[in-house]
Amino acid sequence: MPATYDLVLKGGTVANHDGIAIRDVAVRAGRIAGLGSFSAEAAGTTIDCSGLHVLPGVIDSQVHFREPGAEHKEDLETGSRAAVAGGVTGVFEMPNTKPLTTSAKTLADKIARATNRMFCDFAFYMGGTRENARFLPEFERLPGCAGTKVFMGSSTGDLLVDDDAGIDLILSQVKRRAAFHSEDEFRLRARKNEQRAGDAASHPVWRDAEAARLCTERLLKLARRHGKRIHVLHVSTADEMPLLAANKDLATVEVTPNHLTLVGPEAYERLGTKAQMNPPVRDRHHQEAIWRALRSGVVDVLGSDHAPHTLAEKEKPYPESPSGMTGVQTLVPIMLDHVNKGRLTLERFVDLTSHGPGRIFGIAGKGRIAEGYDADFTVVDLKQRQRITNRWMESRAGWTVYDGVEVQGWPKGTIIRGRRVMWEGELLGPAQGQPIAFMEALPSV
């Protein structure tokens, strides 16, 4: 009898928008064809998922893969290898490359570099600037564009729009939800003397909570003026959460596993400049507020802010050391460990990494285990204890701040459009990554 389905995931515990239960998932032509109970004989291939949890494919909506321009740190291939090794099926990559992603030409170049070379599916942010603002409605509709990203505070790269007039211009033009790095550049400049040479623990003193609060307050007022949707990236302070909670009709919120897991000053004492990122890892007061906002629903998504640098670069004395750390490969195990410790439910993890990105960015056909959706799955073993190590890292940078940390909960398999790309630690080629589609940018027929 010919097979009815290409693939059946059999006997796994499916965690989805409609609850958690043991169910089979059937796949045909790269899409989900049904949920329920299916015989092994009905499938060309059957994967035994007994004792495992089958989650909708995890989407990491903030990564920096450094290509083009800084391939010595990372490139699209190595970054995507790290993603699928960690159970991530799709990524949104940031525009602060060299050249900057600020035109149709530079976006098309990235898509060409990524297609069938990245192991996961992908979208790329367009950098918003004063110079390209009038073209953003056109750029936002280009295939593979995740939307517009704006840096209001200086970080790695040369994209910076620090003044209200520049943000006002961009917000007057965008149609889709725009993402923002929200730190007040004027305050950062005024407080630069707070940096203490050789002391990474002064990083959150310089880039203080007030710099984040001031910028987010300005951003919310400007977004309200134009009635535009905004997404505030890597929120790191207690001060911002009430502002964002009061503006949930237009503002969505991302937090990172790093801000939920690392805490100052201990992280700086233990890790030095490896713990340096923008916005900074802060003290427990801010971390606890982020957890409260996550539990209360203010937080919409998790993003790793994977921002690799070489060890030689990170080991430069502060403040010559660059900000950023790896994270796409550790997002799933670090957060599953938090699940096992009772800090959030598995359902909330799925909402933050699959349903949330699908909902707020309008991803077409991803983010749920439902008939007709892409057959993207993150298969995990919630009972497995494993030690994260630098040796496990697929990133070209080759290191993680979680080296030596033991977690409970581990990615066993990464399946993208019905094809296994990682299973039990082995990456399975060839790479077949494709652009992610968005409902607000679907092609006309």
Is 218:188 a contact under the CB 8 Å cutoff? no
Q: Give the Cα separation of 118 and 77 in Å (integer).
A: 5
| Residue bearing tokens 């495992």 | 52
Is 187:210 a contact under the CB 8 Å cutoff? yes
Q: Give the Cα separation of 72 and 414 in Å (integer).
A: 26
Choose the catalytic residue: 305, 351, 374, 381: 305
Is 298:244 a contact under the CB 8 Å cutoff? yes
Quickly count: other Cβ atoms within 10 Å of residue 325's Cβ: 28
Classify residue 66 by its DSSP letter.
-
Q: Give the Cα separation of 176 and 18 in Å (integer).
A: 28
Element (H, E) at 337: helix 331-340
Coil, helix or strand at residue 3:
coil
DSSP assignment of 276-335, as one string? --SSPP-BHHHHHHHHHHHHHT---EE---B----HHHHTSPTTTSPP-B--TTTHHHHH
Residue 3, amino acid: A
Hey, CA dihedral for 331, 385, 20, 433, is it positive or negative?
positive
Tokens standing for residue 232: 């505030």
Is 138:149 a contact under the CB 8 Å cutoff? no
Coil, helix or strand at residue 102:
coil
Q: Give the Cα separation of 253 and 354 in Å (integer).
A: 14
Q: Strands 53-56 and 377-387: what pairing? A: antiparallel
Residues in the chain: 445
305 counts as catalytic = yes
Q: Measured between alpha carbons, how far is residue 53 from residues 21, 328, 384 in Å?
A: 9, 20, 12
Tokens standing for residue 387: 């030690």
Alpha helical stretches, state H, 203-246:
203-206, 209-226, 240-245
Q: Measured between alpha carbons, how far is residue 36 from residues 24, 33, 71, 374 in Å?
A: 5, 10, 45, 17
Quickly count: other Cβ atoms within 10 Å of residue 58's Cβ: 31
Q: Burial level of 343, CB count in 10 A (0-12/13-18/19+)?
A: middle
| Catalytic residue set | 305
